A and B are shown apart, each in its own frame.
Chain A
Amino acid sequence: MIGQLLGHCRITALIGEGGMGVVYRAYDEVLHRDVAVKVVRKDAGIDSYGRQNLLQEARASSSLGHPNICTIYEVGEIDGDLYIVMELVEGKSLHAISAGTGVPPESVLRYGIQIASALARAHDRGIVHRDLKTTNIVVGADAIVKVLDFGLAKRVGGGLLDAPTMSFSTIQGASSVSGTLPYMAPEVLRGDAADARSDLWALGVVLYELSSGNLPFEGRTGFEISSAIMREIPKPLGPPVPPGLWAVIQRCLAKEPLQRYQRAGEVQAALEAVQSGAIGLGAAAAEQPANAPPVTAMHNVRHARVKKGDFLLLVGTTKGAFIFRSNAQRTRWELAGPYFHGLPVYALAFDSRAGQRRIWAATASYWGTLLRSSDDFGKSWTNPQQAPIRFPADTGTSLKNIWQITLGPLDEPNVLYCGVEPAALFETRDSGATWSMVRSLFDHPHRPRWLPGNGGLALHSILLDPSNKQRMYVAISSGGVYRTDDGGSTWTAQNRGIRAMFMPDKYPEFGQCVHKIALHPKRPERLFLQNHWGVYRSDNSADSWTDIANGVPSDFGFPVVVHPHNPDCVYIVPVESDIFRCSCDGRLRVYRTRSAGAAWEPLMRGLPQKEAYETVLRDALAVDSYDPAGIYLGTRSGQLFGSHDEGKTWQKIHDGLPSIACVRTAIIEDGSLMPVQAPRKTAANQPTSKSKEISNSKSRQGGRRPKRR
Chain B
Amino acid sequence: MPIAFQIPAALREFTSGRSAVEVSISEGKLSDALAALWILYPGVRDRIINEQGQLRQHINIFVGNEHIRYTGGLATPLSDGAVISIVPAVSGGCNRNPFSALFASLSDLGG
Contacts and interface: CB of A to CB of B under 8 A. Distances in A.
Interface stretch (A285-293, A444-452, A633-641, A648-656): A285-293
Contact of A366 (B2, B16, B54, B92): B92
Interface of B: 2, 10-11, 13-14, 16-18, 21-27, 31-36, 38-43, 45-48, 50-52, 54, 56-59, 88-89, 92, 108-111
Contact of A386 (B23, B26, B39, B45): B45
Contacts of A386: 42-43, 45-46
A366 B89 CA distance: 8
Given A280-B25, A366-B92, A386-B45, A247 B111 contact: no
Interface in A361-416: 365-368, 383, 385-387, 390-391, 393, 396-399
Contacts, number: 133
A396 B46 contact: no
A294 B16 CA distance: 12
9 contacts: A251-B41, A273-B36, A294-B13, A365-B111, A367-B47, A367-B59, A368-B47, A386-B42, A397-B52
Contacts of B48: 367
A296 B26 CA distance: 34
B40 A282 contact: no
A287 B59 CA distance: 22
Contacts of A256: 17
Contacts of B36: 244, 273, 279-280, 282
Contacts of B27: 280
Given A254-B16, A342-B109, A393-B51, A285 B42 contact: yes
Given A243-B2, A243-B23, A285-B45, A250 B52 contact: no
B22 A247 contact: yes
Interface residues of A, number: 48
Nearest to A363: B111
A368 B50 contact: yes
Nearest to A296: B13
Contacts of A396: 52
Nearest to A391: B51
A368 B44 CA distance: 11
Contacts of B22: 243, 247
Nearest to A259: B16
A260 B35 CA distance: 19
Given A279-B25, A342-B110, A367 B10 contact: yes
A242 interface: yes
A374 B6 CA distance: 30
Contact of A393 (B13, B31, B32, B52): B52
Contacts of A503: none
Contacts of A390: 51
A385 B14 contact: yes
